[in-house]
Amino acid sequence: MDDDVMAALLGVMETVWRMGQDRPGKPCSLARLARQAATPMSVLRRQLLALVDAGWVALQLDEGGVTGTVALTAAGAALCSELSAASQQPRE
């Protein structure tokens, strides 16, 4: 997978993770995620499908498939937690 694509996918995951930290127990709507990630909905939906396929994100679409919610899976949350901890480690 291209480094730019992977960075974009990890950016979406980080946004979902941060939103979950800011609003625990509240669902993350696709519209809110698109605004927070500054990503057009069409691009976001493709990114989310790739993350669903990887097992890092759970996507639930409402009837009609236009609106819905997104959350990290346990594997996605663990990955984000690891990446966050690694980024806070002092570099030698």
Architecture of domain 3-84: Orthogonal Bundle (1.10)
Angle between helices 41-54 and 30-37 (to 10 degrees): 110
Summarised one tens digit per residue, pLDDT across range 26-68 is: 889 999 999 999 999 999 999 999 999 999 999 999 888 778 9
Look-up of token digits 């696709």: 30
Task: Decide if 30 contacts 18 (C-beta within 8 A).
Answer: no
Ranges of each domain in the chain: 3-84
Sequence-distant (≥ 6) Cβ neighbours of residue 50 within 8 angstroms: 9
Q: What is the mean pLDDT of the chain?
A: 88
Which pTM value belongs to this model? 0.84
The percent of residues above 70 in pLDDT, for the chain, comes to 95
